[in-house]
Amino acid sequence: MKRMLLVISCIFLIAGCDKKIDVEIVDNFEDVKVELRDQEVEINNDLLNTAGIVNVEHGEVLTEEVNVDTSKLGEQEVTIVVKNERDEEKEFSYKVNVIDTTKPVISAKDKITTTEGTKVNLTKNVTVKDNSKEKLEVKVEGKYDLNKVGTYKLQYVVKDSSGNEATKDFTLVVKEKVVEEKKEVTTSEKKTTTTPKTTTTSGYNPNGTPSSFNGTKTSKGYIIVVKNGITYIDGIMIANKTYSLPKSYNPGGLTSVTKSAINEMLAAAKKDGLSLYIASGYRSFATQNNLWQKRAKNYGKAFADSGTARGGYSEHQTGLAADICGEGKGCISSDYHNSKGAKWMAANAYKYGLILRYPKGKDGITGYKYESWHFRYVGKDLAKKLYNGGNWITLEEHFGITSKYAE
C-alpha cells in the first residue's frame, strides 16, 4: 500500500521525487523489524552469518548466506543488510563470540616398555587433536627413572590456550638390561678356555667369576664376558658350578622381566585348568651359603653338594630362575615330573621364554639331577631353540661350557 503511494507521488511530483523518497526511507524503515541475537560458537565450528537473525518483519535480508570465520578466539561483529518494502537497505549487526570449551583428545599407547639406561622419548608417538588446531605441548606427569627397573604409573597432560585440559594415564615399564654387548676380541687377545679356579674350600668365592675369564672363548666359540664377577655369554647371565655370582649380586627378587614372563605363563596354565605357583624364586647369596654351610658342617661337603648349590653358585641368585609347583603331590621331588603341572610346564614354558634348566639325563652336563620344577628365564628366542621340540638342550651344551666345582 505504501509502495503504491510512493510510486503515485513520484509520478505526480517528478522534479522533487528523490528528496521526498529520502525522507520517506527514514520514516518508513522504522517499519522493518529486525530481531537479532548474539551468538557463541566453538572455535572452528561452522556458523552461518545469518545464525543470529531471530526475526525480520516488513523487510528482506539481502546478505548472502556465508560461514562466519570461527578460526580465531574472541568477539567479532557480523553485519547483515536488510531492505525495507521500498527497496532501501540498512545494516544491522550482532556479536559472535568464538570460544573453546572442548578438551583436546590424546591418542597414545597405554604401556611403554623399555630397558634400563635407554633414552626414550615418551611423547614421541603421542598424537593430540584439538578443535583449536593449535600445536599443543604434551607433558608427562609423575615420577619415573629410566635408569631404574620398575613399573611407573604416569600421565600425559595437554592443555589448550583456553585452559581446557586433557589427561591420559599410561604405564612405563623399565626392564632390566639382560643383553650385554659381545666383547670383540682380536686374534692376539684370544685366550684358551680353562675351568676357572673360583671355589674355595669354604664352599664359596665372594667375588664370583674371576675377571681373567673376561674375553675368553667357550668350546663353541662364544665370548665369555665377565663384568664385576658376573658371567654373561651371548648376553645370557650364567650361574652354574663353574661360573659363580659375587656375594654382592642381588637383584632384590625375581627380575621384573622374569616375573612378568612367569605371571603370563601361570595365567595361561590357569586357562588350561591348572593351578601353578612359584614355590621358590630369588634366593640371596647369604641364604644359599648358610644353607650349604650348615649341611656341609653336619653331613660333609659331598652330601651338601649333592642337593644344595653353594653360595654364589645357585641360579636362584640370578633372579631369573624359579621353582614352579602345583598340580602334583608335592614338588621338588623326584616324582613331580609325572604330575600334570610338571608336564604342562615342560610342554609350554618355552613359549614364555623359560627353559627346563636341569633336564633328565643331563646331570653330567648341568651338574644337577633332573629338576622338573626348576625353570630359568632366557627370553623367547633362546627358549624355543633350547626346547628343541621337547628334546631339551642345556645352556651348557648350547654355549659349550662346563658346570663343575673346581674343588
Q: Compute CA 404 distance to the chain's CA centroid, rounded to the nearest angstrom.
A: 41
x-marked contacts with Zn ion along 313-332 as a string, rule CB under 5 A: ----------x---------
x-marked contacts with Zn ion along 279-318 as a string, rule CB under 5 A: ----------------------------------------
Catalytic residues: 371
Q: Cell 618355552 belongs to which residue?
A: 350
Size of the site for Zn ion (CB under 5 A): 2
Rounded to a whole number of angstroms, the minimum distance from the CB of residue 126 to Zn ion is: 43
Q: Count CB-CB contacts under 10 A for residue 77.
A: 9
Rounded to a whole number of angstroms, the minimum distance from the CB of residue 273 to Zn ion is: 25
Q: Is 288 helix (H, G, I), strand (E, B) or coil?
A: helix
The 3-class SS string of 28-69 reads: HHCCCEEEECCEEEECCCCCECCCCEEEEECEEECCCCCECC
Q: Which stretch binds Zn ion (CB under 5 A): 81-89, 90-98, 300-308, 366-374?
A: 366-374
DSSP sequence for 348-381 = HGGGGTEEESS-TT-HHHHSS---TTEEEE--HH
CA distance 191 to 224: 11
Q: Which stretch binds Zn ion (CB under 5 A): 5-13, 38-46, 132-140, 371-379?
A: 371-379
100 binds Zn ion per the rule CB under 5 A: no
Rounded to a whole number of angstroms, the minimum distance from the CB of residue 407 to Zn ion is: 24
Rounded to a whole number of angstroms, the minimum distance from the CB of residue 392 to Zn ion is: 16
Judged by beta carbon, residue 224 or residue 238, the one nearer Zn ion is: 238
Residue whose C-alpha is closest to residue 293's, from 317, 314, 309, 282: 309
Judged by beta carbon, residue 357 or residue 398, the one nearer Zn ion is: 357
x-marked contacts with Zn ion along 372-391 as a string, rule CB under 5 A: --x-----------------
Q: Which stretch binds Zn ion (CB under 5 A): 106-114, 205-213, 287-295, 369-377?
A: 369-377
Rounded to a whole number of angstroms, the minimum distance from the CB of residue 352 to Zn ion is: 17
Strand segments, DSSP code E, in 89-216 are 89-99, 105-107, 111-115, 127-129, 138-141, 150-159, 165-175
Judged by beta carbon, residue 222 or residue 352, the one nearer Zn ion is: 352
Q: Are 326 and 273 in contact (CB under 8 A)?
A: no
Q: Are 88 and 31 in contact (CB under 8 A)?
A: no
| Binding stretches for Zn ion (CB under 5 A) | 323, 374
